[in-house]
Amino acid sequence: MNRKLAEFLTSLYPRRWRQRYGEEFKVLLQDHSASFASVFNVFRGVLHQHLLFFSENNMTTIQRSIVLMGYGYLAAVAGGVNLYWTVDDTPLVDAMHSHTLLLGCWMLVTWASFLALAAVLAIAIPIVFATIRFALRARRRDLLIRLAIPPCIGGVVLLWIIGAALWNHSTWAPLPWAITGDWAAPASWPSLHVRWIEGCITLMLIGGGLIGSALSVKQTMRLSNFPLPHFLKIPTIILAGSIVLMAVGVAGWGLFSQQYASATFHARYGGLLGSSTFVSWMGSLSLFVAAAFAAVSGAKRAFLSDID
Amino acid sequence: MKRSTQRNVVSTDSESERGYYSDPPLLVLASLADGPKHGHAMIEDIFQMSGTRLGPGTLYGAITRLEQQGLIEPLAPEERRYPYRLTLKGAQVLRAKLSTLQRFARVGLRRLEAK
């Protein structure tokens, strides 16, 4: 493999990995033949190392628990936002008023989400205050910057939505769930082309914001080398339990929609990026299942924290 | 070890016919059992030993994890190449894993022959 290709492939690895292994890996690549298989193998290695960056290495058990809870809650938020906007203002809302089981599942998700929010606040508020106190005392601006990332991203998303809606003469908010579908867009809305561009920008901002927030939670925890409060066990159980309940509610809602309102469920009313409600629901369900796994795993670790 | 990274992959018929075996961390540990080696030497040695040619990304994924677990350690560089050697803990883990595999293989082969 020539030097330039070896340098390029090595440059794809995370910076921290490169600092430790970059030089020797470059030499190994130069000793290696430049086949498609070996380049593909390096790409796989790059992906693996970047995924490890999101994992919770080099942390105490309580830090891992909080990070997993954070990931779980953010995934549940993503799934919940997607489901809410997929269903809002569609005939499925009427179907829910006619079928108790359908409404019951929806209410389960709603109430469990309030419970989850309360548990997250109970976990996050003491940690945020402890982190701010520590950061101010130890003059750690890096910690304060990371803490500020989630609210700043939220503000940017909100400003973008409000700004774009005003730009569209308040006729259409740039939501990726209202771009196109089995309905005729009002004449006052911006053109389909504009709706696609603005909707995709919103989706990228929301997705990037959630990933950025997940990274900021992880890095804040990794950099917080001060004792974290150990009284988080009950809120962690409530959070994990409520996310599991939400996942069950979302699964049940989809199954009953299939049973009671099949045609509407498979129509393209408010799905993400013009997809059907079914496809959008599948996306939300996957996020809720992942969220439940992360949150339960985090709660288990909270109970192991005593043996740290 | 906290997490198992073992993967036994038999991907094609021809590979299974020649007894293809892929558990990169174990292969790296076994390669270092007779002394320190750098990356390229490990790839060649593992190919001679098991018929498996590890890609550079796979090899360094295994090296990263094994070093984090304290099973191998780097030595001083030789002409820009960094050799690695087994630690005491690495040797113990390798012995334990190979003993388990040996028992497993013995029982499996005995059952096959008894058929």
Provide, rounded to the nearest whole percent, the portion of chain B with pLDDT above 90. 59
B38, amino acid identity: H
pTM value is 0.67
**With a CB-CB cutoff of 8 Å, which residues 39-78 of chain B face chain A?**
39-40, 43, 55-61, 63-64, 68, 77
> Position of tokens 């059907």?
A276
Inter-chain CB proximity B56 and A27 less than 8 Å: no
Mean pLDDT computed over B40-62: 91
- Contact present, B63 and A21 (Cβ < 8 Å): yes
Where does the pLDDT of residue B45 fall: very low under 50, low under 70, confident under 90, or very high at 90 and above?
A: very high
User: What is the total residue count of chain A?
Assistant: 308
Where does the pLDDT of residue A56 fall: very low under 50, low under 70, confident under 90, or very high at 90 and above?
A: low
pLDDT over 80 (residue B14): no
pLDDT over 70 (residue B3): no
pLDDT over 70 (residue A48): yes
pLDDT over 70 (residue A271): yes
Q: At A34, list the tokens.
A: 């430049």
pLDDT for residue A225 = 67
A216, amino acid identity: S
Q: Which of A112, A149, A161 is nearest to A292 (CA)?
A: A112
Most A CBs within 10 Å, among B40, B42, B60, to test the A interface = B60
Q: At A63, list the tokens.
A: 């830090």
SS3 B79: coil
Inter-chain CB proximity A21 and B60 less than 8 Å: yes
Inter-chain CB proximity A24 and B40 less than 8 Å: no
Instruction: Give the lowest-confidence range in A86-95, A185-194, A212-221.
Output: A212-221
Where does the pLDDT of residue A231 fall: very low under 50, low under 70, confident under 90, or very high at 90 and above?
A: low
- Contact present, A281 and A86 (Cβ < 8 Å): yes
On the CB side of B34, how many CA atoms lie within 13 Å of its CA? 7
Q: Is the reported ipTM for this assembly greater than 0.90?
A: no
pLDDT for residue A89 = 87
- Contact present, B90 and B36 (Cβ < 8 Å): no
The CA distance from A15 to A13, in Å, is 6
B64-76 pLDDT, tens digit each:
989 988 999 999 8
| CA distances from residue B100 to A261, B4, B17, B90, B103 in whole angstroms, order as listed | 56, 14, 23, 15, 5
- Contact present, A235 and A123 (Cβ < 8 Å): yes
Inter-chain CB proximity B60 and A25 less than 8 Å: yes
The CA distance from B66 to B85, in Å, is 11
Inter-chain CB proximity B64 and A21 less than 8 Å: yes
Show which residues on chain A lie within 8 Å of chain B, measured between beta carbons: 17, 21, 23-25, 27-29, 31-32, 37-38, 40-46, 48-49, 57
pLDDT for residue A226 = 64
> Position of tokens 């058929």?
B115
Inter-chain CB proximity B56 and A38 less than 8 Å: yes
